[in-house]
Structure formats: C-alpha cells, structure tokens
Amino acid sequence: MTVTENISLHGSYCLLKLTSLQILPDMYPGQFVQVRIEKSSTTFLRRPISIHYVDRKNNELWLLIRKIGDATRAITQYRTGDQLNLLLPLGKGFTISQRPVTADKPKLLLIGGGVGVAPLLFWGAYLKDAGFDPFFLLGARTKEELLQLEHFRKWGTVHTTTEDGSHGEKGFVTQHSILKNMRFDHLYTCGPKPMMMAVAKYAFSASIPCEVSLENTMACGIGACLCCVEDTVGGNVCVCTEGPVFNINKLKWQN
C-alpha cells in the first residue's frame, strides 16, 4: 500500500494513512494488519498493528503507531509515496450482541489507554453508524498523550483521565466517576495489560460483559505458527486468529 500521509502526533506517536489502487477489502473493527518492516535492519518479523480507522470515502487505512523499538520507529519514518507491505485484514474483532432499539439503546463504553486507543476509533465509528451512541473513556499520563480526541468526538461522548490531572479526571481510567454514575451494558477495552486487567476486574465485579484486545507477540499472524497463544478456559488458543479480541469470560483473568 502507498503512504498518503504521515502525521506526527505528540511525542512518540504518529498517524499513518495508507491507500491502495484497489478498493480496500472489507475490514472489521478490532482486526489488525501485519506490517513488513523493510526500513529496519534489526527487525526480522512483521509487526501486528491495529486497524485504527478505515476511511472508505478516500479508500484509506489509518494506523496509529507508538514508537517503542526499532520496528515501530521505522514505521514512523515512512513518508508520502512510500510503499508498505501489509497482510490484512487479520483476526477477529469486537462483537455486539444487542441490536439498538430506539427507546433504550444499550450503553457501550470503549476504554482505551495509550496506543491502545487505536482500534477503538474504528469500533466507535462502526457503532455510531450502526445506530448506537458509544461512550469513550480514554486515559493517558498527560493531556498531550491523549490522542485523536477530535476524531473520537465525532462518534460519541468522550471522557478522559490523566495521571497528572492535566485533562479530564486525575487518575486511572478505572477510577473515573462515569463508572460509578452510569450503568453500562457492555465494555470494550484496549491498552496496557495492567489497565485491561483492571477494567476486566471491574467488569467481573459489576457483572458487565467485557471484551479486551490482547497484544501477544506474533510471528505469522495468520494461525500457522502457534507462537501467539493465550491460555484460555479452552486451553491455548491463537490470539491472531481467535482474537485479538476476547470476551473476558474466555480468559483466565478472573483472579
């Protein structure tokens, strides 16, 4: 695919927009792509990156990248016109059980932290298009690290927390008052594992269905190597094909 735009966001983040001569295939929120990293000599394997958003009008795929090592640093160096080799779309995404009913729409909360907000934009947009009014709860260390807020606002109500209190409520997402003041019917979360585990703990205690998006390290990304397994109630399953999104009831996170 061809890079149409590379926008650096705060600090170590960037937004990469890609297009293709062909119409982009069907993609579903929560799915990911496997990026071949040709610009980093120390990187051997492809890297899994969530689908941040699909802009059908412009036939564009968006990726939100956090520089953490050589591969992600190399991705942020791609410029307009560069070619990037992707396998897509991979994995299974988020699910929604109830249909929206005009009188009493299910209340959906999408909780993201750090670069984990990436798949939630696409999911929020999808939900909005499907007639839901999603809520977002986005957490970061500081206000600068809250990414893509203006985009999230297009698709739902946005709440935030920051560890330094510079935006929204001070603290972690699981301490936000909205969790006490509103009753949600479904939670979706992606972010650092400790955050997702805290959200899952809350979901278990409040008996709210919850889906999490895991980030196990991968080799093939297509179910061939069995490297990415998560220990679930049904044994070891591949995160790349059975996930990355899992219902917390399937994981051994209860304790």
Partner 1 sequence: MAELRINIGELSLRNPVTTASGTFGYGTEYADFMDIERLGGIFVKGTTLEPREGNPYPRMAETSAGMLNAVGLQNKGADYFIHSIYPGIKDLNTHIIVNVSGSSIESYVACAQKMAGLEKIPAIELNISCPNVKKGGMAFGVTPAGAAEVVRAVRKIYPKVLIVKLSPNVTDITEIARAVEAEGADAVSLINTFLGLAIDVKRRKPVLSTITGGLSGPCIKPIALRMVWQTYQAVKIPIIGLGGIASWEDAVEFLLAGASAVQIGTSNFIDPTTSLKVIHGIEAYCNEFGFRSVSELTGALMQ
Residues that bind ligand FAD (CB under 6 A): 32, 43, 47-50, 64-66, 68-72, 115, 118, 215-218, 244
Binder of residue 176, out of ligand FAD, ligand FES, partner 1, none (CB less than 5 to 8 A by kind): none
- List the strands of the sheet with 108-113, edge to edge: 169-170, 157-162, 135-140, 108-113, 186-190, 210-213, 245-247
End-to-end CA gap in the chain: 43
C-beta closer to ligand FMN: residue 187 or 240: 240
What single-letter amino acid sits at 149?
Answer: L
Both tokens of 245, joined, read 């999104």
C-beta closer to partner 1: residue 108 or 218: 218
Contact positions with ligand FMN (CB under 6 A) in 213-242: 225, 227
224 binds ligand FES (CB under 6 A): yes
Return the closest-CA partner of residue 30 out of 249, 220, 247: 247
Q: What is the number of the residue whose Cβ is closest to ligand FAD?
A: 69
CB of 222 to ligand FMN, least distance (A): 12
CB of 91 to ligand FES, least distance (A): 9
Binder of residue 76, out of ligand FAD, ligand FMN, partner 1, none (CB less than 5 to 8 A by kind): none
For residue 73, which phi and psi values (nearest 5 degrees)? -65, -45
C-beta closer to partner 1: residue 145 or 215: 215
Measure CA 199 to chain center: 15
Angle, CA of 104, 173 and 163, to the nearest 5°: 150
Peptide bond into 194 cis (omega under 30): no
CB of 240 to ligand FMN, least distance (A): 13
Name residue, tokens 């703990």. Answer: 201
Q: What is the CA radius of gyration of the chain?
A: 18
Q: Which of 221, 237, 245, 253 binds ligand FES (CB under 6 A)?
A: 221
Both tokens of 21, joined, read 């001569």
CB of 225 to ligand FMN, least distance (A): 4
Contact positions with ligand FMN (CB under 6 A) in 22-61: none
Q: Which of 149, 178, 197, 227 binds partner 1 (CB under 8 A)?
A: 227
Helix (H, G, I), strand (E, B) or coil at 220: coil
Binder of residue 217, out of ligand FMN, partner 1, ligand FES, none (CB less than 5 to 8 A by kind): partner 1
Peptide bond into 89 cis (omega under 30): yes
**Where along the sequence are the contacts to partner 1 (CB under 8 A)?**
36, 42-46, 87, 216-231, 235-236
